[in-house]
Amino acid sequence: MAMTLDDLVAKVTDPYERQARLYPALLSLLPVVAMVVLLYAPQASSFTVVLTITVSCGGLYLLTNLCREFGKRLEERLFQQWGGKPTTQLLRHRDKTIDAVTKRRYHSFLAAKINHAFPDEEGERHNPDAADEVYQSGIRWLLNHTRPDDSKKFDLLFKENISYGFRRNALALKPLGLIISIASLLWALVAADVLFGSSPKYIDLAALSRMPTHTISCSTISAVMVVVWLLFFTRASLRTAAFTYAEMLLRACETL
């Protein structure tokens, strides 16, 4: 039996896997899927058969893992450019995002949990790499004790983590998403004789006004996705999500 996109999404039951890894991959493929369904409706049934076979042979698992891999590679590069992991930066004395009083409270709490003193300002200044190792050890403890559970105690933190993962993986797929969106838009315009048609001009404005509804819909989806990839999935928006999640994670020190 042919599988729809709803069926495909439903097969991924883990919320993080579905929203942070599968959705970015599907967004990158959205324009070409819309083009196949809207412009080539008679062949759409063949498309769903191919989709079913692909998923059955592990295509869905491959898709989410590729998305994760590209996202992780991008993350490593961005952390180096940003000056370290966001959580590590927020715990540094020299970072002023969190006020000194609250930061001391976080340091005291995490130092007790990992049974290792946190460096003071002079120690951090003298050996910043060693200080970062201590901060990262504290964060690892915090991550291990804030995993989602049945009590929903850290539900908001989990949602922020999903938001960060979604933006990270989508940004990693941005070049692919842009190529697919632009190519789908051009394909729809060529199919409607708007571009490189019978008119001696490269662009036939008369053909543009005569475009059928399904071609307009396909072109609109592709154009909107070009704008989304360019304006929303940026390093700035990812950095916002990363530091929002980092601050939310450190706030768990107040409730644990």
Give the pLDDT confidence of 227-248 residue by residue, as tens digits: 999 999 999 999 999 999 999 9
Looking at the chain, the number of H-run helices and the number of E-run strands are 14, 0
Q: Would you state the pLDDT for residue 256?
A: 85
Percent of the chain whose predicted confidence (pLDDT) is above 90? 56
Q: Would you state the pLDDT for residue 48?
A: 62
Give the pLDDT mean for 97-107. 95
Q: Would you state the pLDDT for residue 82?
A: 95
* Confidence band of 38 (pLDDT split at 50, 70, 90): confident
Cα torsion through 176, 181, 187, 190, rounded to 10: -130
Give the pLDDT mean for 36-59. 64
Residue 194 has pLDDT above 80, yes or no: no
Closest CA to 185 of 206, 163, 162, 208: 208
* pLDDT, averaged across the chain: 86
Which of 8-27 are b and which e, b meaning 16 or more Cβ less than 10 Å from the residue's Cβ? beeebeeebbbbbbbbbbbb
* Confidence band of 133 (pLDDT split at 50, 70, 90): very high
- Of 38 and 187, the structure prediction assigns the larger pLDDT to 187
* Confidence band of 113 (pLDDT split at 50, 70, 90): very high
Distance between CA atoms of residues 45 and 244, nearest Å: 43
- Of 208 and 99, the structure prediction assigns the larger pLDDT to 99
Q: Would you state the pLDDT for residue 102?
A: 95
pTM: 0.86
